[in-house]
Amino acid sequence: MAAKPTPATVPEYSENSIRVLKGLEPVKQRPGMYTRTDNPLHILQEVLDNAADEALAGHGKKIKVTLHADGSVSIDDDGRGIPFGLHPEENAPVIELVFTRLHAGGKFDKGKGGAYSFSGGLHGVGVSVTNALSQRMEVTSHREGQVARLVFAGGDVVEPLSLRPQAEGDRRQGTSVRAWPDASYFESSALPMGELTHLLRSKAVLMPGVSVTLINEKTRDTQTWQYKGGLRDYLMQTLVTDPVIPLFEGEGFADSQNDSFAEGEGAAWCVAFTEEGAPVRESYVNLIPTSAGGTHESGLRDGLFQAVKSFIELHSLLPKGVKLMPEDVFARASYVLSAKVLDPQFQGQIKERLNSRDAVRLVSGFVRPALELWLNQHVEYGKKLAELAIKAAQTRQKAGQKVEKRKGSGVAVLPGKLTDCESRDTAYNEVFLVEGDSAGGSAKMGRDKENQAVLPLRGKVLNTWEVERDRLFANNEIHDISVAIGVDPHGPHDAPDLSGLRYGKVCILSDADVDGSHIQVLLLTLFFRHFPKLIEAGHVYVARPPLFRVDVPARGKKPASKLYALDEGELAAILDKCAKEGVARDKCQISRFKGLGEMNAEQLWETTLNPDTRRLMPVQLGDLDFAATEGLITQLMGKGEAAARRALMELHGDSVELDI
């Protein structure tokens, strides 16, 4: 028998084991949480974004980036200069706080006392990360006739703030930051020049009239970008092939009378439609490049699609049997999109994707009427564009029909309670397995009938962990699920025929409460045990409906809004954010959904079914392999496993919150 480990070999876990990281320590310990660590470009972009925010606010016309021979980089602007007086609460110079404290900045209070209405900076984390990951950093601020200078090393102040009056005749205003990135934090210390020039050029595009200059001391090259024609000039220079019709450009911003959006929110865009070649697609939010897209791009797609669809319907151009999808219009679109959002929500600190739900309506609401008007003023161009979209739809439908023929004639009769979708494009189609008939009713009314099907399930599904495969179909619910998705039950080592699969996404949709979780577990058990290849191929998803709705009254420039939270944690975050914006907790009306059946069709669409705003989680094997996962589920779902379940409960019982 193996000897028990002596206490000396077991790591001690006590009060002394807990470390609280202070100041900029968290950034140095885990730089990947705050920035991209493949090269230092992103930490320099943080400084550049601050200079761009000054220009965006109308306080600067020039930005200069210098690559010095010693590997350092300087960024100079002619904005207002960072304030260097003492902070009223922190008793330290403001300029020092900006570079040494996480979550200190001038971009939190939008529309009431903050320094910026629109900005790319959100978290007050940016330049403090640049400072933490630089060996040395020199900051100079020219403001109100004085010059302030500060020097940091590894995030710490090494030369405290010094002030001197500006030289006579020197009327300069603005900020100059010179940083020496610390190579030990990055995979490569070399800056990707292609990415850097693209970034600088795009800043110039998005701010017509502002000049952006890059000086390279090693090669003695100087480049300056200034675009008087903005997005149109830029897109025409970037396109590889000629567009089929002239460029469609426009902009729309909310005014003070707008009920839904704050004054100044909106977008500018330029779109080109080409027949071949890879499309050029660039989007920005408050001048921040969103390389992974997001909800503003979804809004552009929706606006273009709705406008083209209504033009086609108005002129009766759609051939019989052809169904138009958003992708048919969007696939051949190249565009530059620049959105202005008052308080944008990004995915992660490096802001590559916009998550703000309202941005879909914001952008679509301006793009759709503008394109409808333009197409009806230029009917010939409209017909050319319609032809391009219809051709794409026909090609897509033909590809879908090829799969249809392979299914043979012995197709099982689809279950009567399945409300099917119209499209036959498997990759695009989704089926929602919905708990209960009342929720099924809301889902049927709220879904997009083009590609979303609904199969309501009555009551709890059978626990199928120990059911023999050939006895499965004795249960009506499971029979209906199998026939609806078009795949027969199979084992982990079988090679099932997936060509009959009728939906690319099989989504489990149950209430956000304990019963809903139980139904979710029973369905996941069914798929893992009897349809494992569907999980392996990435076809199974869990839809996450919200548990709470928060009605927030109007505040400052922001109109009244409805926000949704998945759980208590998100609810707390929403209420904290409202408190920061000056809305008291008791002014926010919180309602809890008892179940999906309580939501009306519009709410269910907006929160759970709409691809642009929903949370849909793919089901995958986690850290454990198939066999280990199988062992764990046996403990949870097996009939003779009560003792193992009890042991699990004793082990993890205190980490479970009871929801009564």
Per the annotation, binding residues for ATP are 13, 50, 77, 121-127, 351
> Could you tell me which residue, 597 or 268, shows the higher pLDDT?
268
Task: Report residue 120's pLDDT band, with 50, 70 and 90 as the boundaries.
Answer: low
Q: Over range 455-462, report the average pLDDT.
A: 87
- Predicted local confidence at residue 10, as pLDDT: 61
In one letter, which amino acid is 407? K
Closest of 129, 116, 122, 105 to residue 25, by C-alpha: 129
Question: Would the pLDDT of 405 be above 90?
Answer: no
Task: Report residue 308's pLDDT band, with 50, 70 and 90 as the boundaries.
Answer: very high
Q: Over range 584-603, report the average pLDDT.
A: 86
C-alpha separations of 89 from 95, 179, 261, 532, 642 in Å:
14, 28, 33, 59, 58
What lies within 8 Å, CB to CB, of 59 at 6+ separation is 79, 80
Helix, strand and coil percent figures for the chain, each rounded to 5? 35, 20, 40
- Predicted local confidence at residue 658, as pLDDT: 52
How many CA atoms lie within 13 Å of 486's alpha carbon, on the beta-carbon side? 24
- Predicted local confidence at residue 473, as pLDDT: 85
Share of the chain above pLDDT 90, in %: 45
Domain boundaries, the chain: 25-225, 230-402
User: Cα separation of 27 and 374, whole Å?
Assistant: 50
Residues in the chain: 660
- Got the DSSP string for 114-135? -S-SS-S--SS-HHHHHHHTEE
Task: Report residue 362's pLDDT band, with 50, 70 and 90 as the boundaries.
Answer: very high
Write the pLDDT tens digit of every residue in 598-620. Answer: 888 898 998 999 998 898 999 99
Residue 332: CB atoms within 10 A of its CB come to 21
Question: Would the pLDDT of 503 be above 60?
Answer: yes
Task: Report residue 108's pLDDT band, with 50, 70 and 90 as the boundaries.
Answer: very low
Q: Over range 229-239, report the average pLDDT.
A: 86
Q: Over range 182-198, report the average pLDDT.
A: 92
Per the annotation, binding residues are 13, 50, 77, 121-127, 351
Q: Over range 160-189, report the average pLDDT.
A: 91
∠ at Cα 75 (74, 77), nearest 5°? 145
Q: Which residue has the tokens 């400084």?
A: 47
- Predicted local confidence at residue 350, as pLDDT: 64
- Predicted local confidence at residue 589, as pLDDT: 92
Question: Would the pLDDT of 525 be above 80?
Answer: yes
What lies within 8 Å, CB to CB, of 581 at 6+ separation is 109, 110, 112, 555, 556, 558
Task: Report residue 406's pLDDT band, with 50, 70 and 90 as the boundaries.
Answer: very low
Q: Over range 125-137, report the average pLDDT.
A: 88
Question: Would the pLDDT of 427 be above 80?
Answer: yes
User: Cα separation of 63 and 176, whole Å?
Assistant: 10
Q: Indicate if the alpha-carbon torsion angle 513, 515, 517, 520 is positive or negative.
A: negative
Task: Report residue 441's pLDDT band, with 50, 70 and 90 as the boundaries.
Answer: confident
Task: Report residue 19's pLDDT band, with 50, 70 and 90 as the boundaries.
Answer: low
In CATH, what number does 25-225 get?
Answer: 3.30.565.10
User: Cα separation of 201 and 235, whole Å?
Assistant: 12
- Predicted local confidence at residue 292, as pLDDT: 87
Question: Would the pLDDT of 116 be above 90?
Answer: no
* Radius of gyration in angstroms for the set of CA atoms belonging to the chain, rounded to a whole number: 29
In CATH, what number does 230-402 get?
Answer: 3.30.230.10
- Predicted local confidence at residue 251, as pLDDT: 94
What lies within 8 Å, CB to CB, of 32 at 6+ separation is none
User: Cα separation of 81 and 452, whole Å?
Assistant: 53
> Could you tell me which residue, 275 or 438, shows the higher pLDDT?
275
- Predicted local confidence at residue 655, as pLDDT: 62
Paired tokens of 578: 């409202």
C-alpha separations of 331 from 269, 296, 325, 327, 391 in Å:
17, 17, 10, 5, 11
Question: Would the pLDDT of 74 be above 70?
Answer: yes
Q: Over range 26-53, report the average pLDDT.
A: 86
Which active-site residues does the annotation give? 435, 511, 513, 515
Question: Would the pLDDT of 87 be above 80?
Answer: yes
Question: Would the pLDDT of 287 be above 90?
Answer: no
C-alpha separations of 17 from 20, 293, 426, 495, 602 in Å:
10, 41, 53, 50, 50
Question: Would the pLDDT of 354 be above 80?
Answer: yes
